[in-house]
Structure 1
């Protein structure tokens, strides 16, 4: 996630200074998340990399490397937003397993991820407006073109609202 934010800063030129400041801030917070999670894993005798992980975020970043609109539509608004949905479920599993520290860390990360997705939403809508595109239909077209995974519930609608999704977008999400 650190590299994703920094890649957006490096790759997409000609955008307002706030775009770059926002994504540098995201990279900083993602670095803090890594430190929190790595430290927690170490208390349990593990290290980062000891468990399998997917690279779906980076694969989508590669596919959208030529268009900041596509990147914003699909990385923060689809893939990272899925983390908003999954975090409460994972947090509850950690609590049930007796890992209160892990559950607390997930709360911190969820709070920050809401802000990260909100940044993605802000710049996605800004680019849609600049290009004269309808955000809802553009999202659907980009998801089809770049073969984004379909969103599956349950959805954390409160977190998605806090992250800047409007009711029309949430209705489309729930309709599938």
Structure 2
């Protein structure tokens, strides 16, 4: 019988979009039912598989996305969101397979739940794209999110500091504005999807913050100072306001944590 890490590796190496969603849902369900033993015999791939034909460009080469309500701009927005959520599935699976043995069962349970959420988010967005006559893979994407995973593949603390506590936290900042714009265009279903994602992402960031604190206590690190050091060392972007302070606080990120990194 395969163990959890083998199932995760297989899901990561599934490029078909529906196949990755289904594999993720199945392994989370099987683990929760004790039908998939907790084991970490398999190594994680350096890069997950993505759909055949997906055009991946350097971040700086991506075409500019308009902010108006034209059909083309709406498709570009939702395609971008689909890619974020698709890569988020891989990020959540990878953090479990790569660091689960070190971090323990609560960590595994929390980030498998994140993986299941991200699979659901992607499926919702891809179905919404279909109502516009589009699908994930129609437009080019970039690999910036996964580059952050590669940068932090050696260190559970660095991965937690950068991925949930910076990248996902940024989603808390920008999603309300996107939601308002989508709602103003009369896309009520899209607004409902974004609200669901926002609510879930608060829990995801909270999981990252909670387990980062556990990591720091285990390794004798002061959390705020260690987080700032790791972000300065491993995050290639810049933390820019405005910040959604209320959502960040609900996720366990106080302003004094991130304001001095700006």
The answer to whether 1:86 aligns with 2:174 is yes
Q: Which runs of 5+ in 2 are unaligned?
A: 1-87
Measured on the aligned residues, the alpha-carbon RMSD in Å equals: 1.4
The answer to whether 1:9 aligns with 2:117 is no
**Which has the larger helix fraction?**
1
Give 1:151 shift: 1.2
Q: Which runs of 5+ in 1 are unaligned?
A: none
1:39-97 CA distances to partner (integer Å, 9 max, x unpaired)? 11101111012234332221100110010000000000001100000100111111122
Shift in CA distance, 29/42, structure 1 to aligned 2, threshold 3 Å: same
Higher RCO, 1 or 2 (CA under 8 Å, sep at least 6)? 1
Q: Provide TM-score, normalisation by structure 1.
A: 0.93
Larger radius of gyration: 2
More displaced stretch, 106-115 vs 123-132: 123-132
Which 4+ residue blocks in structure 1 deviate beyond 4 angstroms?
none
Within 5 A, what are the aligned runs for 1:48-67?
A: 48-67=136-155
User: For the residues of structure 1 that align with 2:259 and 2:242, how far apart are their CA atoms?
Assistant: 13
Give 1:170 shift: 4.9
Match in the other structure for 1:41 = 129
The secondary structure found in structure 2 opposite 1:79 is: helix
Task: Count residues with an aligned counterpart.
Answer: 174
User: For the residues of structure 2 that align with 1:120 and 1:53, how far apart are their CA atoms?
Assistant: 26
The answer to whether 1:109 aligns with 2:167 is no
More displaced stretch, 59-68 vs 98-107: 98-107
Whether contact under 8 Å (1:60, 1:75) holds in the other structure is yes
User: For the residues of structure 2 that align with 1:50 and 1:98, how far apart are their CA atoms?
Assistant: 24
Match in the other structure for 2:71 = none
Give 1:171 shift: 4.2
